[in-house]
Amino acid sequence: MSSNHIPLIASELALEKKELIRSDALDNIESEEQRKRICEDLLNQSTFLQAIMDAMPHSVFYKDTGLRYMGCNKTFERFLGIGQGQIVGKTVYDVWPQDLAGLYQRTDLEILASPDLRPIVYEGVVQGNDGRRYDVRFHKAVFRNPDGSAGGIIGTMEDITERKRAEQQQMIVEAQLRQAQKMEALGTLAGGISHDFNNILGIIIGFAELAYWDVGENSPAGKSLKNILQATNRAKALVQQILSFCRGSSEENKPVQLGLIVKEVLKMLRASLPSTIDIRQNVASKAVVLADPTQIHQILMNLCTNAAQAMQENVGVLEVSLTDTVIGPESVDTYPDIPFGPYVTLSVRDTGTGISPAIIGRIFDPFFTTKAPGIGTGLGLSVVHGIVKSCGGTIKVESLPGQGTTFHLFFPAMERDQLREIVETISLPRGRERILFVDDEPALVETANEMLGRLGYDVICRTNGMEAREAFVHQSKEKPFDLVITDLTMPHFTGIELVREQQFPEAL
């Protein structure tokens, strides 16, 4: 039976009960036996209609024109946690919280005041006997007396909490899909740009290294060239990070010195955050942890961005510190979920609005967010929590409303016997082999030819795939190529086509 039929049935029940309590309803019946039979029929019909209502899955209630409850079904009783005897004769202010009762009464008065007594359907909120609030859909209508006047209000209450939650999650998933599509497009664009940018960096690095070899480390020019090489290597790593984020690629966990990543991220943030935010850093630890560098980068960007957003009018202090910590038996109550041992503590502190105690226990829940719709998905801190846990660490949060927030992230530090330290400098290997080097960037070809030649190799260079194929086909039988180094993307004839045509077993 659909919920559309519920008001009709309940209306009949309400009228029957009203008829039973009218003293003049049976005044015109002279026979006592006839009067008794009619009363029994009315009671049976009332019981039958009540049984039908009690079998309905939705809450049903009805009120008189004074807006006092006349009755309800079992579902309504179970929802409130009280019996019908405690509901009948009460108003909404006697049964519901005050803030909700006022809303219910206003809609009831609007129905009774409307000229045509038209039914209404609307969504609202109710509070159950467990103290939780639920999303519901109300159907309210006026039932009439035999003379056509309003006899009261009949209503149904359908719980739509799960449906609303499913709709919200669907909207979040759709937003994530749109964001993934944007990132995919950005990744394609970044991939194309990075190819050309890496070629430029390769030329700069190559000629800088050649010049560094010529002038020596201790010369003034050598020191300048060393700084150039350090900067270009950072640029190369930055391009790789952009590609990793855009394409969603993930590296395996490997030994990482967190201090280097912290410094790199804060340099990037300084360019993107308002100058009114004072960024402070205290990198006191040089310990190494086993982690994915890209994920550590993601954690820092997420926490620092959240911290900046928490500072009203973008004014305040953002402090990032990295310290060594040892967790022992005395800390078992504070850190019960991680084993004893050395840890690296990454702390991100802000002077923002802080986190309310009412929600601080839910900040790591997926899809939970306090941001306005369209601004956040509620996945950021959940992802941070997952990454830290996957590294064998834990997170602690300290926050008070109006006094800022501090996130402490604990990563297990690698013991010295776990690290393979290289204490001696190994010279570059030299060789006599013959190499075919192929790239469509002439300056890069020149760099590779010079560098490999200085290391003793016999290098043949070509600037396109067609010339490389000819060189390989007509190579000397006495001195064949020992190695082919080729660019992947070249006009007319790519490096992949060259490898496939010549069937190099090592490449295939």
Highest mean pLDDT among 87-96, 365-374, 491-500: 87-96
376 conformational bin, left if phi > 0, alpha if psi -120 to 50, beta if neither: beta
Q: Write the pLDDT tens digit of every residue in 25-48.
A: 555 555 677 777 777 777 777 777
451 conformational bin, left if phi > 0, alpha if psi -120 to 50, beta if neither: alpha
**Residue 93: its pLDDT value, please?**
92
Compute how many other C-beta atoms are within 10 angstroms of the C-beta atom of residue 347. Answer: 18
* CATH number of the structural domain 434-502: 3.40.50.2300
Comparing CA positions, the residue from 317, 262, 268 lying closest to residue 285 is: 262
Comparing CA positions, the residue from 478, 482, 484, 477 lying closest to residue 501 is: 484
pLDDT at 4 exceeding the cut of 60: no
Q: Give the pLDDT band (50/70/90) at residue 503.
A: low
**Fold designation for 3-159:** Beta-Lactamase (3.30.450)
Tell me how far apart the alpha carbons of residues 2 and 5 are, in angstroms, rounded to a whole number: 6
pLDDT at 326 exceeding the cut of 70: yes
Average pLDDT score over the chain: 80
CA-only gyration radius of the chain, Å: 38
Q: How many angstroms separate the most distant Cα atoms in the chain?
A: 132
Q: Give the pLDDT band (50/70/90) at residue 437.
A: very high
**Residue 496: its pLDDT value, please?**
82
Q: Which residues pair with 111 in a beta bridge?
A: none
Average pLDDT over residues 400-406: 87
* Pairing of the two strands 405-412 and 394-399: antiparallel
DSSP 8-state assignment for residue 135: E
Comparing CA positions, the residue from 212, 267, 209 lying closest to residue 238 is: 267
**Residue 427: its pLDDT value, please?**
60
What's the predicted TM-score (pTM) here?
Answer: 0.42
**Residue 372: its pLDDT value, please?**
47
Show contacts of 496-501: CB within 8 Å, 24+ apart: 497/465, 498/438, 498/465, 498/468, 498/469, 498/472, 501/469
Centroid of chain to Cα 165? 16
Highest mean pLDDT among 213-217, 245-249, 430-434, 455-459: 455-459
pLDDT at 268 exceeding the cut of 50: yes
**Fold designation for 258-418:** Heat Shock Protein 90 (3.30.565)
**Residue 9: its pLDDT value, please?**
47
Stronger pLDDT, 216 or 407, i.e. the higher one: 407
Q: Which residues pair with 318 in a beta bridge?
A: 279, 350
Tell me how far apart the alpha carbons of residues 208 and 225 are, in angstroms, rounded to a whole number: 6
* Pairing of the two strands 434-438 and 394-399: unpaired
**Residue 431: its pLDDT value, please?**
84
Which tokens go with 430? 């030299």
Q: Write the pLDDT tens digit of every residue in 329-365.
A: 887 777 777 888 899 999 999 998 888 777 777 777 6
| Alpha helices for 55-144 (secondary structure H) | 74-80, 92-95, 98-113
Which tokens go with 396? 């602690």
